[in-house]
Chains A and B, each alone.
Chain A
Amino acid sequence: AQSVTQLDSHVSVSEGTPVLLRCNYSSSYSPSLFWYVQHPNKGLQLLLKYTSAATLVKGINGFEAEFKKSETSFHLTKPSAHMSDAAEYFCVVSDGNKLVFGAGTILRVKS
């Protein structure tokens, strides 16, 4: 069965510094992988998705993620954090039938 581990429950960065949110997955075959963002009291919004094309995936708002099969990782990065990036981020794997969510990483951005 597919599973997702988000390695940090909370990440704190200063505005203008890089963001790294880590995600490892397990999958018995080539997975589809997603990152979603949830701002406080809002629904989830898709940031980006990987579906076996390019291993470096670019998303909205300057985020990108790299699929590394050898490391079973799909880490989310952004070169320069903005205050508006403060939110909870979910790494998600598709098991072919359904989405399996990680527990989430709360990103705090300090001014």
Chain B
Amino acid sequence: NAGVTQTPKFQVLKTGQSMTLQCAQDMNHNSMYWYRQDPGMGLRLIYYSASEGTTDKGEVPNGYNVSRLNKREFSLRLESAAPSQTSVYFCASSEAFRGYEQYFGPGTRLTVT
């Protein structure tokens, strides 16, 4: 039981390049989330998927898109990376959407130059 896995662990992009961050969970959870973590700001929600087939914007969605590929997988895409997107990205999942604890992946450290 791997929990929540993320790939890649590290990535360096040039401004304007695109990439997709992958996330998968094996806990049969219904809800999945993408966060970014910046120093002194805690975690901020980018997008979430309350259930398979649905996605919604979080607090900081600009510059990102997501796809809930199936119940297990939830990807985050940067279409045209900017230096302001340099951050650590965490994927999380929870059994259901309201009031449940979330389980986090190990993170992807992204640098945009």
* A binding-site residues for B, Cβ under 8 Å: 9, 32, 34, 36, 41-46, 49, 51, 90, 94, 96-99, 101-104
| Contact residues on B (Cβ < 8 Å of other chain), bracket | 20 to 34
| Contact between chains at B40 and A9 (CB < 8 Å) | yes
Cβ of A96: which chain B residues have Cβ within 8 Å of it?
Answer: 98-99
Whether B48 pairs with A90 at a CB distance below 8 angstroms is no
Q: In the assembly, what is the distance between CA of A42 and CA of B58, in Å?
A: 23
Taking the closest CB of chain A, its distance from the CB of B41, in whole angstroms, is: 6
- B42–A103 touching, CB < 8 Å: yes
B41 touches A103 (CB 8 A): yes
By the criterion CB–CB under 8 Å, are B42 and A104 in contact? Answer: yes
| Cβ 8 A contact of A99, one of B40, B41, B102 | B102
Interface residues of B in 62-113 (CB under 8 A from A): 90, 92, 97-107
A94 and B99 form a contact (CB under 8 A): yes
Which of B41, B44, B101 has the most A CB atoms < 10 Å from its CB?
Answer: B101
